[in-house]
Amino acid sequence: AVSGCLSATEQPSVYGNETEATEYQGIELTPISNQGNNAIKGTHYIDRDTYRLQIDGLVETPVNLTYNQILEYPSTSKVLDLNCVEGWGFTAKWTGVLVETLFNVTGINENATTVIFYSADGYSTSHDLDYLLDNNIMVAYKINDVTLPPDRGFPLQLVAEDKYGYKWGKWITQIQITNTGYKGYWETRGYSNKADVGGPPFE
């Protein structure tokens, strides 16, 4: 493949018993094998059966959700570009559950303003609560119609639409709601906490 495109002779990749989508609603998707990928400590491997997503902080009812419980919630799909500050990017179909759906389960304190996403590898990042709700932001469990491979963030990757790639946390294990600002791994190293694509990557 050249420049992230499938040639006419290439066949879609198969992951387990799932076949990777090559296009969606007329939009060509970048094959997973051609997608750029970064992590601070390499790929993390998380056991599906023991995994729990903890949602806590300024919520009415903290929860620890199993992977199967997450799959039971209504799903949503979007084709979105992930753009890295390094200059590369790719187009993929993301499928998962809206963050708002999860917050409807826990309830949110009226003073909440910020949501922190913690990853299994020690990574973290944050977003304004309003951004997550107003833009129908999801945590994805599938990419191009296949379950997230380990290096893509299984079991959950945050899909931070219109934000640079370092705001798209992978291997999400905890979502914490707070009323104070928070700077994550790269943000404490000088990267913009806003991270709008096309805007300045540094503060």
Amino acid letter, 134: D
3-class DSSP state for residue 196? strand
pLDDT exceeds 60 at position 199: yes
For residue 91, the 8-state DSSP code is E
**Which pLDDT score is estimated for 8?**
38
pLDDT tens digits for range 103-155: 999 999 999 999 999 999 999 999 999 999 999 999 999 999 999 999 999 99
pLDDT exceeds 70 at position 101: yes
**Which pLDDT score is estimated for 11?**
58
Domains defined along the chain, listed by start: 14-189 (3.90.420.10)
The span from the CA of 38 to the CA of 40, in Å, is: 7
Q: State the pTM of this model.
A: 0.93
pLDDT tens digits for range 20-54: 999 999 999 999 999 999 999 999 999 999 999 99
3-class DSSP state for residue 96? strand
Q: Judge residue 9's burial from the number of C-beta atoms within 10 Å of its C-beta, 0-12 exposed, 13-18 middle, 19 or more buried.
A: exposed
